[in-house]
Chains A and B, each alone.
Chain A
Amino acid sequence: MKITVGLAQIYPKIGDVKANLAKHLDFIAQADSVGVDLLIFPELSLTGYQVQDLLSEVAIRPTRDDDTFRALLDASQNMDIMFGFVHEDTRQRYYIGAAYVSRGEVLHIHHKVYLCTYTMFDEARFFDPGESIRAFDTRFGRVGMLICEDFWHVSPPYLLWMDGADLILMHSASPSRGLSAESAFSASHWVELVNQAYGSIFTSYIIHCNRVGYEDGKNFWGGSSVVNPDGDFLTHGHYLDETLIRQQIDLNQLHRTRSRLPLLRDERPDLVQRELLRILTKNEV
C-alpha cells in the first residue's frame, strides 16, 4: 500500500491558539487538495514552543468539548492528523502533548517523556513528564509518536518498535545551533544522522516534522524529513522556510527490507529485559 505523508513545517505564533488553529486548518485544506493521507504538524504546533507563564491560557483538554480540539477532530475526516498542544489534565498538571486524530476520533495521545531542561531549554520547570510509550493501530498500520527529546534517547523508538510500530512519527521544536563552515547547523546534522540510524536499525519509516520561525532570537531549522526502512532519505533538507512537504511512501517496503535484513525477527527483547533487570538490581546504572 502506498500512502502520501504531509509534513506541515509551520511557524506557530507564540501563545496564540486561535491564529495557530487557523493555520492548521489552512494547511489541512492545502494537504487535502494534494491528496495527503497523513499530515504531521510540529511539537506544540497549537501554542508555540516557549509558552512559559502562558501555560494555563493556552492549555486544552483533548475532548470534543474543547472548541480547538473539536475543530481538528472534524478536520480529520479525510486525512489522519498529528499535532502538538499543551495538555492540561483534570488536576492542573501540564504535559507537552501530541495527538493523533483520525475520522473524528482520537486514536492516541502521547505525553513527552524526556523533558528538555538544560542550556537554553526549560521544559521541566513548566511541564510534567509523560509516563508511557505506546504504539497504536491506525488505518495505515501500527504507529508510534515521539516528541523531540524523546528521540534523542534510543529507548523510546526501541520500545515503539517492540510494541509493533512500523511508522515512527516524530515532531519537534528544534532550535538552530552550532553554526560552522558546514551548510547546515550541527543540530540539524545530528537529528538527520539519528533519523537515518533509526530507519536503518529499526527497519521502519521515520517521519519527522520540525518547526520553523523565530522565538526571542532562537530560530528553528525545519528540515522535516522522511527516512525509509533502508535508512535512506526520501525527502529532507527543506530548511528554515514555512512549507508543506509531500512524500509518498510504500508500506510494502517494510517486508522487502525486513526480508533482506531481519533485525526485527532476530531482536531479543527478553534478553534486554533480563539484562536490564540485572543491571538495575545491582544499581549499576
Chain B
Amino acid sequence: MTVATHTDIRPKLRIHTDLARRVLTGFIRDQIHKAGMTRAVIGLSGGIDSALSAYLAAEALGPANVLAVRMPYKTSSTDSLTDADAVIQTLGLQALTVNISGMADALIDQFPDMSNLRKGNIMARLRMTVLYDQSASWGGLVVGTSNKTEFLLGYSTIYGDSGVALQPIGDLYKTQVRELARALQVPDPIIAKPPSADLWVGQTDEGELGFTYEEVDQALYLLVDERYTAAEVVAEGFDRRFVEDVWRRVKINHYKRTMPNIAKLSARTIGHDFLYLRDYTGR
C-alpha cells in the first residue's frame, strides 16, 4: 500500500450523478433500440458494478425488460446471491439462476493442478456463454458491467466479463461507480462491501491488485484523463514504484481493450480501412 501524501485528486473524480444517469440510461435505450430490441440481459454478481448497471438498465428499459441472471459457482459466497436478490426484488427485475458448477467442473476436473486464475477465467467465460444463450432465447442484448479502472488495469477476463454487447459504465472509475450507485440508491451493503470477483474464497480485488481503488483511480485519472506523464504524477507526491507499476499494467493489457488484429493483404481490410460505425445498421 502507498502512503497518501500526494495532492488530493478525489475532488476531480466527483461527478454530477444526475447528468451521468441521464446520459447512461439514454445510451442503454439507444443501443438496444438500434439493435431492433427492447430488452437487456445482465449477469448479476451481487457486486456494485453489476448492481449499478442493473439499476441503470431498469430505469432505461423498465424492469420487466431486464433479465437478471445469477450464475453462482459452488465456492461463490452466499452473500453474493443474497445481495443480487436484493437488487432483483427492489427493482422488480425478471430473474433467473443458472448454477455453473457442473459445467465448470466438467473442465476443471480434467486438470487437477489447475490454478485459481485458470478456474476464475473459466467461470467468467461460462457466465458469458450463459448470458449469450439467454440473449438468444429471451431476446435481449447482453449489458456489460465493467468499469474504467478494470478496463485500464486489464482486471478482466478476455471473452469473459468483457464479452458483451454494450458497456454503459466503462467510462466511470470505480470511485465514480460508488458515487453514482449511492445516488441511485443501490442497497448499502452492496456499496459498502469490499469489491471481489468472488472467483475463489476470500478473494478481494484490492488484495489481489495490491492497492486501493481510491488510490489507483487518482493516479489513473491524472495519467489517462489529464495526460500527465508518470514523472508528473510522481511530482504530485505519488509513490514512484506505484505509478510506474500502474502505468505498466495499463500498457501491457492494452490488447484486452482492442479487437484482435487482422493480417492485412487486400486493398481494403476489415479493421484497417473498412470504416463504418458499429451503430450503422443500414436499416
Q: Check if A and B associate.
A: yes
Residues of A within 8 A of B (CB): 14-15, 50, 52-54, 176, 179-185, 213-217, 219, 240
Q: B12 contacts A214, CB within 8 Å?
A: no
Closest Cβ of chain A: how far from B51's Cβ, in Å? 21
Tier of interface size on chain B? 20 to 34
Among the 9-residue stretches B99-107, B116-124, B258-266, B269-277, the one with 4 or more Cβ atoms under 8 Å from chain A is: B269-277
Pick from A14, A180, A215, A240: contact of B26, CB below 8 A. Answer: A240
Complex Cα–Cα for A52 and B268 (A) = 14
Closest Cβ of chain A: how far from B180's Cβ, in Å? 10
Please judge, given known A-B contacts A54-B276, A215-B277, A216-B278, whether A179 and B26 are in contact too, CB under 8 Å.
no
Interface string of B243-283 (1 = CB under 8 A from A): 00000000000000000000000000000001111111010
Q: A52 contacts B275, CB within 8 Å?
A: yes
Q: Assuming A54-B276, A214-B26, A240-B22, what are 10 further A-B pairs, CB within 8 angstroms?
A: A54-B280, A179-B20, A181-B14, A183-B18, A214-B30, A215-B277, A216-B279, A219-B23, A219-B26, A240-B23
Q: Residue on B with the closest CB to A183?
A: B16
Q: Does more than half of chain A's interface fall in helix, strand or loop, or is it mixed? A: loop
Q: Residue on A with the closest CB to B225?
A: A178
Q: B19 contacts A183, CB within 8 Å?
A: yes
Q: Which residues of the partner chain B approach A185 to less than 8 Å between Cβ atoms?
A: 19
Q: Residue on A with the closest CB to B283?
A: A16
Q: Which residues of the partner chain A approach B274 to less than 8 Å between Cβ atoms?
A: 53
Q: Which residues of the partner chain A approach B22 to less than 8 Å between Cβ atoms?
A: 240
Q: Which residues of the partner chain B approach A215 to less than 8 Å between Cβ atoms?
A: 277, 279
Pick from B15, B26, B27, B278: contact of A181, CB below 8 A. Answer: B15
Please judge, given known A-B contacts A176-B23, A240-B26, whether A216 and B15 are in contact too, CB under 8 Å.
no
Pick from A52, A213, A219, A240: contact of B277, CB below 8 A. Answer: A52
A–B pairs, 5, beta carbons within 8 Å? A14-B280, A214-B30, A214-B31, A216-B278, A219-B27
Q: Residue on B with the closest CB to A49?
A: B277
Q: A184 contacts B276, CB within 8 Å?
A: no
Total A-B residue contacts, Cβ distance less than 8 Å: 52
Residues of B within 8 A of A (CB): 11-12, 14-16, 18-20, 22-23, 26-27, 30-31, 167, 274-280, 282
Q: Residue on B with the closest CB to A213?
A: B30
Closest Cβ of chain B: how far from A273's Cβ, in Å? 37
Q: Residue on B with the closest CB to A50?
A: B277
Complex Cα–Cα for A123 and B244 (A) = 35
Q: Residue on A with the closest CB to B20?
A: A179
Closest Cβ of chain B: how far from A149's Cβ, in Å? 20
Complex Cα–Cα for A215 and B14 (A) = 26
Closest Cβ of chain A: how far from B26's Cβ, in Å? 7
Q: Residue on B with the closest CB to A126?
A: B275
Q: Residue on A with the closest CB to B275?
A: A52
Q: Which residues of the partner chain B approach A54 to less than 8 Å between Cβ atoms?
A: 276, 280
Q: Which residues of the partner chain B approach A214 to less than 8 Å between Cβ atoms?
A: 26-27, 30-31, 279
Pick from B18, B278, B282: contact of A15, CB below 8 A. Answer: B282
Q: Residue on B with the closest CB to A221?
A: B23
Complex Cα–Cα for A15 and B278 (A) = 12
Q: B276 contacts A52, CB within 8 Å?
A: yes
Q: A180 contacts B277, CB within 8 Å?
A: no
Complex Cα–Cα for A240 and B20 (A) = 12
Q: Which residues of the partner chain A approach B31 to less than 8 Å between Cβ atoms?
A: 214
Complex Cα–Cα for A52 and B279 (A) = 12
Closest Cβ of chain B: how far from A103's Cβ, in Å? 35
Complex Cα–Cα for A40 and B136 (A) = 43
| Most chain A Cβ neighbours within 10 Å, of B16, B19, B276 | B19
| Most chain A Cβ neighbours within 10 Å, of B276, B278, B279, B282 | B279
Closest Cβ of chain B: how far from A119's Cβ, in Å? 10
Q: Which residues of the partner chain A approach B23 to less than 8 Å between Cβ atoms?
A: 176, 219, 240
Closest Cβ of chain B: how far from A36's Cβ, in Å? 27
Q: Which residues of the partner chain B approach A52 to less than 8 Å between Cβ atoms?
A: 275-277
